[in-house]
Amino acid sequence: MRIATTIFLTDETITPVRLARELEQRGFAGLYLPEHTHIPVERTTPYPAGGELPAEYGRTLDPFVALGQAAAVTERLGLGTGITLIAQHDPIVLAKQIATLDHLSGGRFTLGVGFGWNVEEAADHGVDWGTRRALGRERMRLMRALWAPAPTAYEGKSGVSVRASHAYPKPAGGAPRTLIGGAAGPTLFTHITEYADGWLPIGGRGLTESLPVLRSRWEEAGRDPAALHVVPYAVLPSPGKLAHYAELGIDEVVLQLPPADETSVLRILDEYGQYL
């Protein structure tokens, strides 16, 4: 099983360069980074985990800049977002950022996408909350048009469009692996089968029940069963938990690191070394 990590990198934590070097030297498979552009102070949306919102949410580094640094000092380490809030981005600019990072890293990038939980953050980006999932789907289709080998136009139903264009570089493999984060359910599974390569289940709970449902939906959509990627994300590990994932046929898991200084993070990496 490949063991990757995720962390809220901030202006107060270990740096992307130091962490990436340590992960590659120790044999970890990848580094996934979350995204929040800002956290409005006047916020009525509750923190999904309950209680006060941790301070790191408002201090998060831009994932693409941080992953660019990580790519520059590593050769094998996988690089990913967990997650890119796709409805909050201009898709033409985002397509360029993704293609550039994947090209420069030699095809090491995984695009984790999601739809967010913070209504106020999304509203500042002009996102109508009720349409964010449909908007995300159209923006993914637009980006895939820009990544196509030949100039390809895309005209969506909600004003999302691009003319046939020259757009280089291309992602190293034509399009990066795309995983969608979120809770299990019919809507999420429909999106996964339509335009993604798999699922990032946050925390990894309930997979015994939900994974067969997703696999069934995937095959009903005519997708190759062997091509489905399910990557439990932000997992606090134990030997029993990882063994259970392996029994379910999962071959990659992303472990949660604390948003802490270098000494603290490296200590946790020492502990996580038992799972490699």
The pLDDT tens digits of the residues spanning 102-133 come to: 999 999 999 999 999 999 999 999 999 999 99
pLDDT band (50, 70, 90) for residue 25: very high
- Mean pLDDT value of segment 143-153: 98
Three-state DSSP class for 133? helix
For position 152, what pLDDT does the model report?
Answer: 98
pLDDT tens digit string along 92-101? 999 999 999 9
CA separation for the pair 175, 172 (Å, rounded):
7
Q: At what angle do helices 262-272 and 16-26 cross, to 10 degrees?
A: 20
- Mean pLDDT value of segment 161-169: 98
pLDDT band (50, 70, 90) for residue 241: very high
- Reference 87, options 202, 174, 191; nearest CA is 191
DSSP annotation of 254 reads: E
pLDDT band (50, 70, 90) for residue 205: confident
For the chain, give the mean pLDDT: 97
Three-state DSSP class for 218? helix
- Mean pLDDT value of segment 244-259: 97
- Which residues span the domain enclosing 7? 2-275
- Mean pLDDT value of segment 162-166: 98
Of the two residues 158 and 253, the one the predictor is more confident about is 253
- Reference 88, options 142, 133, 45; nearest CA is 133
- Sign of torsion over alpha carbons 183, 99, 15, 124: negative
For position 60, what pLDDT does the model report?
Answer: 98
- Mean pLDDT value of segment 261-265: 98
For position 47, what pLDDT does the model report?
Answer: 95
The answer, yes or no, to whether residue 173 has pLDDT greater than 90, is no
- Mean pLDDT value of segment 186-201: 97
Record the pTM.
0.96
CA separation for the pair 55, 195 (Å, rounded):
33
Report the domain count for the chain. Answer: 1
- Mean pLDDT value of segment 183-203: 96
CA separation for the pair 212, 255 (Å, rounded):
23
Percentage of the chain exceeding pLDDT 70: 100
The answer, yes or no, to whether residue 22 has pLDDT greater than 90, is yes
Give the tokens for residue 66: 């941080």
For position 31, what pLDDT does the model report?
Answer: 98
For position 51, what pLDDT does the model report?
Answer: 94
pLDDT band (50, 70, 90) for residue 157: confident
- Mean pLDDT value of segment 79-96: 97
- Reference 113, options 147, 136, 145; nearest CA is 136
CATH number, position 164: 3.20.20.30
